[in-house]
Structure 1
């Protein structure tokens, strides 16, 4: 009852017309007075899980059926030194955060001893009320064919599949789609905070969760004690701008980090002794898969699957560069590939996203901020991206067209300023492919009072708990003792892995 009493006193909502925190009526009692029934998590018994009821639309909580948000908790390992709640979230948007506190606390035991580490599946995701857009077959077809094909028939096919995706979302989840926004999700977060019975939280969020955290901090600055934003999406701009910069950054990571790396280990992978030779070999493999796709069980590996696997393996060099290189090498001698190599190829080329992830990803990115609706513009823009930055640029039309065809959203705009916040810690590597450094710098400028830790000489996505002692030391000192750098600082990246990964 103490949590419920606290909630009714401190949890306001904002009207759609205003972004300022603290405006609007109090939370209705049916949400404010609910109790979280903590039980061992089915997927991770070391954690506690519960289900939280939230309104479909926080601005009109009496309209439409309620939603469920699945939440989790890892209790502080040292109750005598417990200093509060650390809320964390997952990236994407579309990834599950429910079981993440267990790994987070294990990798940073001092932080796990001092905080109750809590997380959740965002509305639309996983164990929360899910959004549904495509069947598995429809999802596979969306990524089939060849995104580099610029023939009129191929372009019509891309646009048709984007139309079908949007139509599938409306048919299967139309009454849910408008409310899958970051602005709605941060109000779910603040209800969770209040039901935990605390006035303030600390926060850790990587990738898209930096956008989520920045929005939360803007709407509820008085609820934030400390915040770490790791690998930053440019939350001061639009999703249209964010995704527009990714073709260049993924190409940069591929050409300046991965290709020189695989060439360095030509004796192991036999993929060329220079980056140029390795790139030529990769392009030759792509042409071969375009002309003769490879069937591995139920998996078909064509040119888009090569692109997707390469994109997915640009995020974290230590485990991913060796596994991608080994899979590429196996394709070169496929008739004689060992059972272990064939299993690796199935795993590397068959694990790109999922229908559920894609449904949540498009819902949030298409709803949060405006998109240009002119398909002709996106056809022209994607032609440039395909020519200059083809790794991710070739798929740009499929992504942009989906949001251009999405129902117009009236989600409130949130302008991130940093007003009223304590010092916020931001982390980013210079060659991050997904949350590129240029966007992180722009977000840092918008979030005044923040400190940016730049990881130089590297390109991993996710810096904390990634084996970089310099980064971990700064973050731990901040979370445990409140010691923030008095200016922006730099940490050198950890060395790239050898053929067998880090160590």
Structure 2
């Protein structure tokens, strides 16, 4: 059983207030042709339903001056054209997530579902009646591509090197990156605003009065932005593991950091604190917590993101004490020491900690001197963020918003973060510095108050999602009284639809998409226990939004 899901359309009341829309220039019908397998993958089951078109979009929809930018569109036509009800536009997150293979594999999976399946059957009916559309975001493979010429970083690992000299290097690196990425003439027009205007142009070309939307993670911001700019043209909107779009990227980044830290303290730190002696640690919970935040250099640069189990954390803290007592003598010396010494009085725990220590030391030898690489945020997005996606991610985030430009304030935040978030590598700070140095912004901010007039939209969310925490979805639920939220409890999966057998997620979401039925009952938030449903074949990984935990 393979699956996944999308949004369908809710008719918007004619009494909507005036919206900040803009007339879409008349666009010729899209010329469809076969999609290259290098873009979408090979899906023989879809046959001629899968096709692609390349569209020359105005570089700036609001000020068209003859300049254009190539945008690729992927379409999987409704399996039963005579029953077609419209099109579902899909955004898988990012910014910078490549949707081409994802949307094709989603359509293929839905088309193979047994229509009589009590949990998944409506997905077959959805594939029968709706086109699946992916407007590939500007700059990604398939259309015009954007790739920053990234200068070689000079900065050392920021959480442990916050001295004046390294801060100056951080500023210089960020400024160089901002100037390199913003240099192309197209760069100012890589934004969520321009992307949703591309979407609306495709909607108009299809001849549909509304588009229906399914967004994952940052895709929630895309859907909300479209709804804000085009409130009379948005149909049903399903947001899966949504980014809290009423907040800034910076707000979302720290929601993620808070959730990650809370999960670490609950699942990794607390067990060590509860059974300190078994893990070879001092019987002082506060001292153990402080030790996590004060790891020595170079251990913290190498291991900040490796403390994923109680055994790995305890091994880290034990070896850190050795380094602090005897000084840093290199990875080979630490490896020899770990092989000779006892970690725990409990034999099974000692074995687990020894294995963890060996893996930690091996990992440390692979980390360049000075510390971090590209940063946690983009690493977490693979496999849907490629080298073009990384550049698009940088440009969109800087173009969409006005960031803090007072660098002493950012530096003060770096000092706080170094203590508050021992798992981070400082990329959340260097990213802010890059956007602070971004030289030109032309994007117009959406007014999300426009969503008040839209009626219902539905969100689905995992209880323990770290990338886009449940707290963000609940904030949106409070902000928009007509919205509904369905929670899968007992899981942290990011990107739920079609990746489980969870009845309240799969059935309720598809019923809403198919004919507008809201989740059962009168409660605005409902939940049920997550039910795992491993996907049936290897192709599932091509469209599993988890990647590691998909994007934000």
TM-score class, shorter-chain normalisation, is 0.7 to 0.9
Asked whether the 8 Å contact 1:251–1:392 carries over to 2, the reply is no
Deviation by residue 1:182-219 (Cα, 9 ceiling, x = unmatched): 11111100111122222222211000110000111122
- Note the C-alpha offset of 1:262: 11
Q: Quick one: structure 1 residues 482 and 436, their matched pair in 2 at CA, closer, same or farther if it must change by over 3 Å? A: same
Q: Where does residue 103 of structure 2 map in the other structure?
A: 101
Tell me whether 1:464 sits opposite 2:497 in the alignment. Answer: yes
Q: Where does residue 494 of structure 1 map in the other structure?
A: 530
CA distance in 1, matches of 2:358, 2:530: 28
The structure having more radius of gyration, on CA atoms, is 2
Tell me whether 1:41 sits opposite 2:39 in the alignment. Answer: no
Q: Where does residue 160 of structure 1 map in the other structure?
A: 172
Structure 1 residue runs of 5 or longer lacking an equivalent are 1-18, 264-269, 292-301, 312-324, 336-347
CA distance in 2, matches of 1:228, 1:349: 24
Q: Where does residue 385 of structure 1 map in the other structure?
A: 417
TM-score, length-scaled by structure 1: 0.74
Tell me whether 1:252 sits opposite 2:256 in the alignment. Answer: no
CA distance in 1, matches of 2:53, 2:227: 24
- Note the C-alpha offset of 1:357: 2.4
| Structure 2 counterpart SS, 1:40 | coil
State how many pairs are aligned. Answer: 427
Q: Where does residue 341 of structure 2 map in the other structure?
A: none
Q: Where does residue 471 of structure 2 map in the other structure?
A: 438
Q: Where does residue 115 of structure 1 map in the other structure?
A: 130
| Structure 2 counterpart SS, 1:229 | strand
Q: Where does residue 482 of structure 1 map in the other structure?
A: 516
| Structure 1 counterpart SS, 2:485 | strand
CA distance in 2, matches of 1:402, 1:197: 41
Structure 2 residue runs of 5 or longer lacking an equivalent are 1-16, 44-49, 114-122, 274-278, 309-352, 364-375, 535-545, 547-552
Tell me whether 1:331 sits opposite 2:359 in the alignment. Answer: yes
Deviation by residue 1:81-125 (Cα, 9 ceiling, x = unmatched): 443211101211011112211222244442323321111221122
Name the structure, 1 or 2, with higher relative contact order (CA <8 Å, separation 6+).
2
Q: Where does residue 93 of structure 2 map in the other structure?
A: 91
Q: Where does residue 64 of structure 2 map in the other structure?
A: 61
Asked whether the 8 Å contact 1:366–1:403 carries over to 2, the reply is yes
Q: Where does residue 216 of structure 1 map in the other structure?
A: 226
Tell me whether 1:362 sits opposite 2:394 in the alignment. Answer: yes
- Note the C-alpha offset of 1:457: 3.6
Q: Where does residue 376 of structure 1 map in the other structure?
A: 408
- Note the C-alpha offset of 1:405: 1.1
Q: Quick one: structure 1 residues 350 and 376, their matched pair in 2 at CA, closer, same or farther if it must change by over 3 Å? A: closer
- Note the C-alpha offset of 1:484: 0.8
> Map of 1:173-252 to 2, 5 A cutoff?
173=184, 175-252=185-262
227-236 vs 80-89, greater mean Cα deviation:
80-89
Q: Where does residue 140 of structure 2 map in the other structure?
A: 125
Q: Quick one: structure 1 residues 67 and 160, their matched pair in 2 at CA, closer, same or farther if it must change by over 3 Å? A: same
Asked whether the 8 Å contact 1:416–1:446 carries over to 2, the reply is no
| Structure 1 counterpart SS, 2:232 | helix
- Note the C-alpha offset of 1:283: 6.0
- Note the C-alpha offset of 1:54: 0.6
2:72 alignment partner, one of 59, 66, 70: 70
Q: Where does residue 50 of structure 1 map in the other structure?
A: 53
CA distance in 2, matches of 1:178, 1:156: 27
What's the C-alpha RMSD, in Å, of the aligned pairs? 4.0
Q: Quick one: structure 1 residues 328 and 201, their matched pair in 2 at CA, closer, same or farther if it must change by over 3 Å? A: farther
| Structure 2 counterpart SS, 1:132 | coil
Asked whether the 8 Å contact 2:193–2:444 carries over to 1, the reply is yes
Deviation by residue 1:305-358 (Cα, 9 ceiling, x = unmatched): x556889xxxxxxxxxxxxx9x967724849xxxxxxxxxxxx99966654223
CA distance in 2, matches of 1:146, 1:497: 41
CA distance in 2, matches of 1:258, 1:362: 32
